[in-house]
Amino acid sequence: MNIDALYDLLELSDDARLRLQHPKLTLQVSIPLRMDNGALQIFQGWRVQYDDTRGPAKGGIRFHPDVTMEEVTQLSYWMTIKCALVDLPFGGGKGGVCVDPKSLSRLELERLSRGYIRAVQDIIGPNRDIPAPDVNTNEVIMGWMADEYAQIVRRKEPAVITGKPVGMGGSLGRVAATGRGALQVLDNWVKRENLKPGDLTVAVQGFGNAGYHFSRLAHAAGYRIVALSDSRGAIHEAGGLDPDAIWEHKQRNRALHGYMYCDHSVSEEKEVTTLSQEELLGLDVDVLVLSALENAVTEDNVAQVRANAILEIANGPVSEAADNTLEKKGIPVLPDVLANAGGVIVSHLEWVQNRCGEYWPEDTVNERLDARLGQAANACFHRAEKQQVSIRSAAYLEALSRITDTMDAQGTQSYFSP
């Protein structure tokens, strides 16, 4: 996708182009952590607020050993696009800490989480920047962070963090929101293409929280989930897999390998086929779901992809070069800024509930999620068809038109020129 070509298509003002080239604020911090054995370690962290033209920055915090400032900046730009695409009153932000959280004890993880908030507390807040969970962070960590912020400012501010435990002001439906939203996007595309869920096979790379909830909901909707993978391996069964049973197995054994799948329709237990990650990407399926990390499909392996369509639940799982190749081959990609927007939509609903002090049942949350994301998805599909561009380009055009209209409303060079 050529972003400059999209700017030209929208006839963006020079002012808007210039503002979109630079993040508004980048903060790098060093977080001292006293380890359980008494040793002191220093971890590098970042918080980037890319743009707040349409509202306070919004975006997750990830804990991962490969986190860099450049990655966090890119993710914060994508969050800017995503929030505008689904018409939320937010800008884009992102945070991260360069750490392998699996190497920490739970007490060390809590101290690191609280230390991150102490390092960034002066630039976050319900009206400035609202963090949320991301890779390797969850509602427990968000609860620690919200509590640390409350201790610093000496008052309860539940709207400062979303994705919290329900007892601390979290929203019902938030945990499954990303997976549910991805299925909503896929359902809308399937309907538009006059396809039927029961006729489609699906392979899912990444069986974490989002991948699991997508898989179980898709399975319930009639899609045939034929392959699943996590960081340790992949499994395949042409007759279909039961995501709930596999999730329970994984929680007990921490791996998918060796899972014994029982097809209850024939009451026959059999061992599934194990695959490598690359073999899963090359399966001949109707929909390949990418729900792991960035750059799962690149120019080095895109030729192996045989799926008829790709659904991006992770952020940036298809590289730009691979995306161009897929477009030339006529393989539609349901892009991340649309497909994984369910999480930020329900984060917005949590933020609203925190601020008004009224909490809604899960059915209400899910209905509002489905309505907002369905409207955004159909707008993207319509624009893509009307302007003969990819769905990703259409999504960016929808979002950028909202962002830049707001920027230009503050005045451009032509307005201020004598």
Residue 375 lies in a domain: no
| 220 and 328 co-located in one domain | yes
Q: What pLDDT, in 10s, does the model give residues 38-88?
A: 999 999 999 999 999 999 999 999 999 999 999 999 999 999 999 999 999
Give the pLDDT confidence score for residue 253 in this predicted structure: 64
Residue 414 lies in a domain: no
Name the pTM for this structure. 0.92
Q: Which of 339, 370, 388 is the last residue of a domain?
A: 339
Q: Give me the mean pLDDT over the 162-167 stretch.
A: 97
Rounded distance between C-alpha atoms, residue 161 and residue 163, angstroms:
7
Question: Which residue out of 24, 58, 82, 94 is catalytically annotated?
Answer: 94
Q: Which of 339, 356, 372 is the last residue of a domain?
A: 339
Which CATH number covers residue 69?
A: 3.40.50.10860
Provide the percentage of residues in the chain whose pLDDT is more than 70.
95
| 27 and 155 co-located in one domain | yes
Residue 105 lies in a domain: yes
| 151 and 98 co-located in one domain | yes
Confidence label for 3 from pLDDT (cuts 50, 70 and 90): confident
Confidence label for 293 from pLDDT (cuts 50, 70 and 90): confident
**Structural element, H or E, at residue 47:** strand 40-51
| 298 and 264 co-located in one domain | yes
Residue 372 lies in a domain: no
Residue 204 lies in a domain: yes
User: Where do we find the tokens 């899910």?
Assistant: 366
The residues, any chain, with a CB within 8 Å of residue 83's CB and separated by 6 or more, are: 54, 55, 58, 90, 91, 92, 344
Give the pLDDT confidence score for residue 271 in this predicted structure: 66
Name the domain count of the chain.
2
Q: Edge-to-edge strand order for the sheet containing 57-64?
A: 25-34, 40-51, 91-98, 57-64, 129-133
| 303 and 208 co-located in one domain | yes
The residues, any chain, with a CB within 8 Å of residue 183's CB and separated by 6 or more, are: 214, 217, 218, 221
Tokens read off for 377 = 């998805």
164, pLDDT greater than 80 = yes
Rounded distance between C-alpha atoms, residue 166 and residue 155, angstroms:
19
Confidence label for 259 from pLDDT (cuts 50, 70 and 90): very low
Give the pLDDT confidence score for residue 405 in this predicted structure: 93
Residue 131 lies in a domain: yes
Rounded distance between C-alpha atoms, residue 128 and residue 309, angstroms:
38
Q: Residue 97: which domain range?
A: 3-7+19-161
Inter-residue long-range contacts of 267-275, CB under 8 Å, 24+ positions, other chains counted: 272/235, 272/236, 272/237, 272/241, 273/235, 273/236, 273/237, 274/233, 274/234, 274/235, 274/236, 275/227, 275/229, 275/233, 275/234, 275/235, 275/236
Sign of the torsion formed by the C-alpha atoms of 374, 94, 145 and 152:
negative
Comparing 182 with 270, which gets the higher pLDDT?
182
| 129 and 191 co-located in one domain | no
| 181 and 287 co-located in one domain | yes
Give the pLDDT confidence score for residue 23 in this predicted structure: 97
**Structural element, H or E, at residue 201:** strand 201-205
Residue 53 lies in a domain: yes
Please calculate the CA angle 185-189-190 and round it to the nearest 5 degrees.
115
Q: What pLDDT, in 10s, does the model give residues 357-369?
A: 999 999 999 999 9
| 48 and 118 co-located in one domain | yes
Q: Give me the mean pLDDT over the 90-114 stretch.
A: 97
The one-character DSSP state at 74 is: H
- The residues with which 273 forms a beta bridge, in sequence order, are 236
| 209 and 147 co-located in one domain | no
Residue 359 lies in a domain: no
Is residue 191 part of the annotated active site? The answer reads no
Confidence label for 249 from pLDDT (cuts 50, 70 and 90): confident
| 211 and 334 co-located in one domain | yes
Please tell me whether residue 273 adopts helix, strand or coil conformation. Answer: strand
Provide the percentage of residues in the chain whose pLDDT is more than 90.
84
Q: Where are the alpha helices (DSSP H) in 221-341?
A: 243-253, 277-281, 320-328, 336-339
Quick one: which of 153, 78, 92 has its CA closest to 117? 153
Rounded distance between C-alpha atoms, residue 287 and residue 224, angstroms:
10
Q: Which of 339, 364, 383 is the last residue of a domain?
A: 339
Give the pLDDT confidence score for residue 328 in this predicted structure: 94
Rounded distance between C-alpha atoms, residue 343 and residue 291, angstroms:
13
